Structure 1
């Protein structure tokens, strides 16, 4: 039998489950039927959680060129096929094919300790574990001083990131410190950064050049710690070495190694990293299409990048954008199976290396760019959509404002619009289409700590997703897309006259940029 306390616990859990299934948005009175249908399907038939599980837990991170990126594309295609939506893969170039394996990092002296950290992308595996003394970069008085030290790094593992004395985020320091202490800590941190940068200048190298010099001088390993400023979060990018291991270690363990090394305790570290290098592979975009009937050669383009960095699962960058656009397509295929305009859903490759997939699509499909009446892009986080800029198109307010009128007010009340705004030049994939005159709008999300906590970090995982927020985004995007596909009016792409730059010269509209098709990237 259950004890009374257990019964209460079960009843509470049951009540919570019922509450969690409540509708996130309720259709307003006299709403058009298609709005009612979209809201009902988003609330009661949502596929978001299952898609997130399959994409993030089963497939995992999707580094460009990796086998997981191909697996993710196949999974996207399978879903669209099940929904009766045609798909294709459009190759556009090559990239290094690399697959992450295990990273075993240990401090072996003066005591034994497992270290939290990981190999950086495209780094070679260790044929056998590398064990060596760990050294920190000292303070130099001159360039000759640095050059003399450089001769001593042979056979050593070198720490190459600035030491962080305070491992707490600034928000904690500010909230809990006495006012005078907080100002003192700020000055101390600013001085440490200044001294670090001055020391780097004495070497005559940038950080990347210094790592190359260390490798050439005989170092056997490089350890970095790219702390994001939030508890437990480090940014995980690519290795800057060619022949020796390069790993990123959590702030706490990096600080331990640094203090031991700088205080003459001669710590040792063992690095055993197992990854696979498959050479070059094909890069590609995965494209889904719901064919239009009356205006099949006019297009509404939905946009989200499928690739990610691979320090974690790539959940909020950009698994959330991917499954949002897939869910929008699934719902519209049921609510609007025969739209007037053709709806294209682009899942881009290699956004993280400079919008390569979307720029390739734009460059390779000039007729589609010419006839795309509007594009909606979703990237950067799990939060509800709260920002919408006109991107420099003079009449964007006329049609976006009209379309937003049919979105439930409980969603639009939080959306800040800026018209006509200025054209985006980078950051996410809508910027790839603006140079072609496409009214391409990024649906900006509520922050939810994205910039510091999950953007390109080891903490960008499934548990950071707020699915009710995503449901609201699905409803908003689906309603906007429905209206864009069905609007009888011509949708203007007239550009604003841009203001003068800081030198008093007229700013120019962004020009198309060609993608990196060769895969040469460090």
Structure 2
């Protein structure tokens, strides 16, 4: 009983000392006051998501966002620039409109996919056909000429438009299990048929295009009410559109029942040729150790089904707001505090990989990188990233953050390095201490990640403000830390597939000519 009481007392004392340190630190108090009393998150979110919109690499909206960010930083007295690192296929989304015109008239919910070719000016009207069930690739080749002049539906029709959680709430257990079993059987049959055809989704689109199809109609349901993933087209001259589950299923059933439905597609996109790609870089110069860096990291680009609010508008807002507040509360940092808003993360971490490759001097001087990406929620997980001694410094920095924030966070030390996923992986691969500030889910994977519903209204501003406070304090503590952080790597666990120790990831070069080669 005495030992338990002593331990509890010790924990209480450490906690009390941490609170006292926070209360006595004028920089931390200034960060808290500015974050809570003068937050700029909502106006920034409105300007970025509502005003500029989605930020697909290669689009005018992406370029406008880079220019906007530089203007914002400059207005706050922070030096900023757009740094070119490559080129991309330029493209601009135009009006998308899709209507069923036979056997009756109905406007449909859908859009063209990223980098989709445009329709003719008056649109494309054609009959829909579905993929055949074939025994082998020769049977598919015999069918292929029949697509000439047709629109081809290339996605499996979903057996239900209700998410599993809705079934779990209302269905009987037997009915739910029956639905899942039938869906699994349908999915396996669909995948087997694709293998029989001898095509992947990418090569299938090309084959249909070459055979004379006038368009591709897909539906990538995201397992939530009214939500689809919106990615890129794999066609060069004909449009590719995505229809929401409800309309796609209706059309598919009409085809199967022999009613030969027709739709009219207008897709007014523009091919803009070759355009430059950038990272936006801003910095508050260090007063004592300017060649050592605390880096705030978030990718700036997005897919363009919605407006990129939670992927990664919220991460962008966190880093911009943290920099704004640090400039006011901590204008003369010991180390340089640099922020990177990376381009083309969605196509393979290209912006951050280019920065790491182009700036070995900065990477060598990294004290810490703090990256935020996965959604609007408050940070709930931080890993040591495989750096053996990361707890020694990261644990101390976290101790200066208010308890109401850190109480929500689960830490893992030393953890393991990432092999992709987000931009901190680019720095970890180069041996720089980089950490992911990983967020609470908020139905991210089904409802907002790369979907048509990733919009301003999904932002949880209280959680984002907490993340601003966390990031700003971590940046301050990392800048003031008396020692250079250790880069010693932990021994990684055994790879379950090979039975060998995992190796540290190695840096990868970026794709610098996207969609052009």
Give the TM-score normalised by structure 2. 0.94
The correspondence of residues 45-444 of structure 1 with structure 2, limited to 5 A, is 45-127=38-120, 128-444=122-438
CA offset at residue 330 of structure 1?
A: 0.3
- Alignment root-mean-square deviation, CA: 1.3
Question: Are 2:391 and 2:413, in contact at CA under 8 Å, matched by a contact in 1?
Answer: yes
Alpha-carbon distance in 2 for matches of 1:511, 1:367: 17
For residue 68 of structure 2, give the secondary structure of its aligned residue in structure 1. helix
With over 3 angstroms needed to count, the CA separation of the structure-2 counterparts of 1:521 and 1:379, relative to structure 1, is: farther
| CA distances 1:376-428 after superposition (whole Å, capped 9, x unpaired) | 00101000000000000011111111011111111101100000000011000
Paired residues of 1:306 and 1:322 also in contact (CA < 8 A): yes
1:319-354 Cα distance to aligned partner (Å, 9 max, x none)? 101111000000000111000000000010000000
CA distance in structure 1 between the partners assigned to 2:195 and 2:229 by the alignment: 24
Give the Å deviation of 1:503.
Answer: 1.6
Structure 2: distance between partners of 1:42 and 1:231: 35
Contact 2:52–2:64 (8 Å) recurs in 1? yes
Q: Supply the distance in 2 between the matched residues of 1:121 and 1:392 (Cα, whole angstroms).
A: 36
Structure 2 counterpart SS, 1:84: coil
1:337 and 1:28 map into 2 onto residues whose CA distance is: 20
Aligned partners of 1:89 and 1:284 also within 8 Å: yes
| Match of residue 483, structure 1, among 477, 482, 489 | 477
Contact 1:27 1:39 in 2 (8 A): no
* Equivalent-residue separation in structure 2 for 1:31 and 1:205 (angstroms): 65
Deviation at 1:28, TM superposition (A): 8.8
Indicate the SS of the match to 2:157.
coil
| Paired residue secondary structure (1:511) | coil
Tell whether the 8 Å contact from 1:316 to 1:382 is kept in structure 2 after alignment.
yes
On the 8 A contact 1:27/1:36 being kept in 2, the answer is: no
Structure 1 window deviating more from structure 2 (336-345 vs 31-40): it is: 31-40
Q: Indicate if the aligned counterparts of 1:28 and 1:408 stay in contact, CA closer than 8 A.
A: no
Answer whether contact 2:334 2:480 (CA < 8 A) is retained.
yes
| CA offsets 1:258-306 (integer angstroms, 9 cap, x no match) | 0000110100011111011110011111100100011111000110011
**In 1: Cα distance, 2:62 partner to 2:145 partner:** 42
Task: Confirm whether residue 508 of structure 1 aligns to residue 486 of structure 2.
Answer: no
Cα distance in structure 2, aligned partners of 1:475 and 1:173:
39
**Equivalence for 1:39:** 32
TM-superposed deviation, 1:29: 7.4
Is the counterpart of residue 470 in structure 1 residue 464 in structure 2?
A: yes
Q: Is the 8 A contact 2:21 2:400 kept in 1?
A: no
- Contact 1:31–1:406 (CA under 8 A) maintained in structure 2: no
1:10 maps to what in 2? none
> 1:31 Cα shift?
4.7
Cα offsets for 1:348-386 (capped at 9, x unmatched) = 000000000000000000000011011000101000000
Match among 445, 450, 472 for residue 451 of structure 1 = 445
Question: 2:22–2:28: 8 Å Cα contact kept in structure 1?
Answer: no
Q: Distance in 1 between matches of 2:86 and 2:184?
A: 43
- In 2, the alpha carbon distance for the partners of 1:361 and 1:437 equals 14
Task: Tell me which residue corresponds to 1:5.
Answer: none
Answer whether contact 1:62 1:314 (CA < 8 A) is retained.
Answer: yes
Counterpart Cα distance in 1 of 2:280 and 2:127? 47
- What is the CA distance between 1:134 and its match in structure 2? 0.6
Which residues of structure 2 form unaligned runs of 5+? 1-18
Three-state SS of the structure 1 residue aligned to 2:227 is coil
CA distance in 2, matches of 1:54, 1:143: 51
Aligned residues of 1:135 and 1:156 also touching (Cα < 8 A): yes
Q: CA deviation at 1:60?
A: 0.3
Aligned residues: 497
Aligned partner of residue 280 in structure 1, secondary structure: strand
Contact 2:22/2:400, CA 8 A, preserved across alignment: no
